[in-house]
Chain A
């Protein structure tokens, strides 16, 4: 790929990813989620913490898709669950439209949850096998009293199914009668039912076969443009993230190590972990693969119970110096909009 092509490519890309407003929808400040580990059966006492998320800051603009990438155990899913308040964070603020989600009482929370929806990874376990598809999609409409009338609700369910590429007759079927790709479309239809503003896609396409994955990615993009949705796109698949996201955040062991515009991050990754992660992605081109340099990072991800002191990446880092073992690096803005948590870049 030559320079001119690369330039054309990035312009092309940003044109096609919908309108992003300057308004911020969600701000996350100093988010920490520690899970206690207890010992003792009758009188449990806390012996340690699993530091799943340990101080994360970011914001998402209206209409934007923010990618959250990292390997298993880096805290990307826990971050998403905190925003949904499926977990009660240990510390930090999550401001949604200026209101701190962590401080809301149950009644206020119900209102916010109408606006925030989630699409889960596994289409086999995230749909209740005893419920008909129509009831799965219609349940939130019924519970929140949005469309109390049965006939009108069916009409809306039919519309949602159709919009997600399924025949309205699917409303009377059960999940086991459908393939993985069709089930994931049901999961999307369910998320759309409440007309949300913000959807968390937690590995939403990871379990699908490649030919089906592309169909679902296209659907998610169409819906984003049509309904002016904002996504938090959690994934470990970097090529998919590059395709769909405006900005991308890289997490490692509960910390955010890099955050930048999508093209900036993929073209000029600065943190050694982001570089290693990008380098590890195999490219479907045998000739390119033979000539490409492979720097493979050693070791495995340490335990979040007892993370390394200083920079959490230092035991595996090729650039590590002595000070990395002691000092936690600041998450600093090295270029406009490009944040890195590393002192050596």
Chain B
């Protein structure tokens, strides 16, 4: 059996007056049924654009999927018709966005927003859909669900809105949920509640999830596999414990070392990644992390290093992964 979702050499570019922004430049990863896969990266690394490309939510112009395939249960989503993708959006694949404040429609009741996809996709009657909406709200831990379905988003707190978003994403029993920074806008105690809820629900319902985040801690607790992105490419991929304990790419290593850790003795100084992320309109053919990399050699300027196997399911896109980085343990 193949993977549920296979992304193969995806390229999404934005054509702007300042030049072509290669936001996603040859990204491949797959997601198996029931699995939680993380995509980690900083702003501008292309992690959200990859996710939006899966659901074809890239505004065109200026954006366009210029190459690659996104196979979901055998169908190529990258180049299927608008009608076909509409069938999949919200039904087989649903999405949770970062901003619970802005991603719900303020003038529609919670009930309306929850029932809409069920009526559209599952052919439910309004009454059936409403009944299920109440059940879903209860499932995501909202008290008094019968009263809440008639309320509007402004009646709810940020954490509650995110719970409503989760309920919406589960409405049509999807096979895959894409969660784009689902807890970034929330307070830590609420973040812990929401992550725990998402973990339990996806496990109980057997839903696969792609969780996109910049927070390495969030990923450690919830992801089976981790993809690290930098400047539109995946630079390292593997199971969570390999990525966190035996990183083989200098960027992953630098990222892990630059955050102060609660579980370690305090350092005198943090160890930041020097310099700035690259301008995506001006990438040369070489490794895009090269200007900030402590391990860079002449060869890095010549071509972009391919993802090489490090053993197991662990891959790293660096020419020096096997030599100078091989002994580093975190």
Contact residues of A with B, CB < 8 Å? 1, 5-6, 8-10, 12-13, 15-16, 71-72, 179-182, 209-215, 217-218, 221, 236, 238-240, 242-243, 266, 276-289, 294, 296-298, 300-301
Within the assembled complex, what's the spacing in Å between the Cα atoms of A213 and B254?
Answer: 13
Is the Cβ of B220 less than 8 Å from the Cβ of A210?
Answer: no
Once the chains are docked, how many angstroms separate the CA of A221 from the CA of B320? 33
On chain B, the residues within 8 Å of A180 by CB distance are 43
The B187-210 residues at the A interface (CB cut-off 8 A) are: 187-193, 195-196
The contact sample of 21 A-B pairs, CB cut-off 8 A, is A16-B268, A16-B269, A71-B187, A71-B190, A209-B277, A210-B255, A211-B258, A213-B258, A214-B258, A217-B272, A218-B269, A218-B270, A243-B267, A281-B217, A282-B192, A283-B220, A284-B259, A285-B220, A286-B241, A287-B241, A288-B220
**Which residue among B157, B192, B218, B269 has the maximum number of chain A CB atoms within 10 Å of its CB?**
B192
State which of A6, A289, A296, A300 has its C-beta within 8 Å of the C-beta of B159: A300
What's the Cα separation between A315 and B215 when bound, in Å?
Answer: 30
Q: Are A294 and B270 interface neighbours, CB within 8 A? A: no
Known: A218-B270, A281-B188. A242 touches B159 (CB 8 A): no
Does B160 interact with chain A (Cβ within 8 Å)? Answer: yes
Give the contacting residue for A9; candidates B187, B189, B196, B265; CB below 8 A: B265
Q: Note all chain A residues with C-beta closer than 8 A to B245.
A: 285, 287
Contact of A214 among B192, B219, B240, B270 (CB under 8 A): B270
Interface centre among A71, A221, A286 (most CB of B within 10 A): A286
State which of A10, A215, A236 has its C-beta within 8 Å of the C-beta of B265. Answer: A10
Contact of B274 with A by CB under 8 A: yes
Residue of A whose beta carbon sits closest to that of B242: A286
B149, CB-defined interface residue at 8 Å: no
CB of B147 closer than 8 Å to a CB of A:
no
Q: A213-B272, A300-B160 are in contact. List 20 more A-B contacts (CB 8 A).
A: A5-B265, A9-B265, A10-B265, A12-B265, A16-B268, A210-B214, A210-B259, A211-B42, A214-B272, A215-B273, A217-B272, A276-B189, A277-B189, A278-B262, A280-B192, A284-B244, A286-B221, A288-B220, A296-B193, A300-B157
With A217-B270, A281-B188 known as contacts, the answer to whether A242 contacts B262 (CB < 8 A) is yes
Contact (Cβ within 8 A) A286 B272: no
Does residue B216 face the partner (Cβ distance < 8 Å to A)? yes
Q: Mark B225-248, 1 if CB is under 8 A from A, else 0.
A: 000000000000000110011000
Docked pose: A48 CA to B253 CA in angstroms: 52
Q: Does B271 count as interface, using CB distance less than 8 angstroms?
A: yes
Q: Is the CB of A214 within 8 A of B189?
A: no
Is B154 interfacial (CB-CB < 8 Å)?
no
Which residues of chain A are within 8 angstroms of B159 by Cβ–Cβ distance? 300
Residues of B bordering A, CB below 8 Å: 42-43, 157, 159-160, 187-193, 195-196, 214-221, 223, 240-241, 244-245, 254-256, 258-274, 276-277
CA distance A282 to B260 in the complex (A): 12
A12 touches B258 (CB 8 A): no
Q: Are A218 and B272 in contact (CB under 8 A)?
A: yes
Q: In the complex the two chains form, is B244's CB within 8 Å of A277's CB?
A: no
Chain A residues with Cβ below 8 Å from B264 are 1, 9
Q: Which partner residue on chain A sits nearest B258 by CB separation?
A: A214
CB distance from B96 to the nearest CB of A (A): 18
> Complex formed: what's the CA distance from A12 to B189 in Å?
30
Measured between C-beta atoms, what is the minimum distance from A195 to chain B in Å? Answer: 25
Please, how many angstroms separate the alpha-carbon atoms of A10 and B241 in the complex? 27
CA gap between A334 and B221 in the complex, in Å: 34
- In the bound assembly, the distance between CA atoms of A214 and B240 in angstroms comes to 23
Contacting pair A179 B196 (CB below 8 A)? no
CB distance from A173 to the nearest CB of B (A): 15
Residues A282 and B259 in contact, CB atoms below 8 Å apart: no
Contact status A211-B254, CB under 8 Å: yes
Q: Which residues of chain A have C-beta atoms less than 8 A from B215's C-beta?
A: 282
Q: Say yes or no: B244 contacts A286, CB within 8 Å.
A: yes
Q: Which residue of B lies closest to A178 (CB)?
A: B276
Are B262 and A283 in touch, CB under 8 angstroms? yes
A170 to chain B, nearest CB (A): 13
CB distance from A207 to the nearest CB of B (A): 10
Cβ A284 vs Cβ B256 within 8 A = yes
User: Which residues in A have their C-beta under 8 angstroms from that of B274?
Assistant: 215
Query: Closest B-chain residue to A71, C-beta based?
Result: B187
Taking the closest CB of chain A, its distance from the CB of B321, in whole angstroms, is 19
Question: Residue on B with the closest CB to A298?
Answer: B193
Q: Which of A9, A179, A211, A243 contacts B272 (CB 8 A)?
A: A211
- In the complex, A285 Cα to B244 Cα: how many Å? 6
Nearest chain B residue, comparing its CB with the CB of A289: B221
**Complex formed: what's the CA distance from A9 to B264 in Å?**
8
Q: How far is the CA of A289 from the CA of B261 in the complex (A)?
A: 13
Contacts of B241 in A (CB 8 A): 286-287
Report yes or no: B261 in contact with A239, Cβ–Cβ below 8 A: yes
Q: How far in angstroms is the closest Cβ of chain A from B267?
A: 7
Given A8-B265, A239-B262, decide whether A297 and B189 contact each other with a Cβ distance below 8 A.
Answer: yes
A210 — which chain B residues lie within 8 A by C-beta? 42, 214, 216, 255, 258-259
Instruction: Report the separation of the CA atoms of residues A283 and B214 in the bound assembly, to the nearest whole angstrom.
Output: 13
Indicate whether A283 sits within 8 Å of B190 (C-beta atoms), given known contacts A6-B265, A278-B262: no
Chain A residues contacting B240 (CB-CB under 8 Å) are 286
B273 with A214: CB separation less than 8 A: yes
Say whether A12 contacts B268, CB under 8 Å.
yes
Q: Tell me which residues across on chain A come within 8 A of B220, comparing CB atoms.
A: 282-286, 288-289
The interface centre, meaning the residue of A238, A282, A288, A300 with most chain B CB atoms within 10 A of its CB, is: A282
Q: Please tell me which one of the listed residues B193, B270, B277 contacts residue A243 in the complex, with CB atoms under 8 A apart.
A: B270
Cα-based distance from A279 to B190 in the complex (angstroms): 12
Contact of B266 with A242 in the complex, beta carbons under 8 Å: yes
Q: How far, in angstroms, from A5 to B266 measured CA to CA in the complex?
A: 11
Which residues of A have CB within 8 Å of B268? 12-13, 15-16
Q: Are B188 and A280 touching (Cβ within 8 A)?
A: yes
Q: How far is the CB of B72 from chain A (nearest CB, A)?
A: 27
Report the Cα distance A281→B261, complex, angstroms. Answer: 10
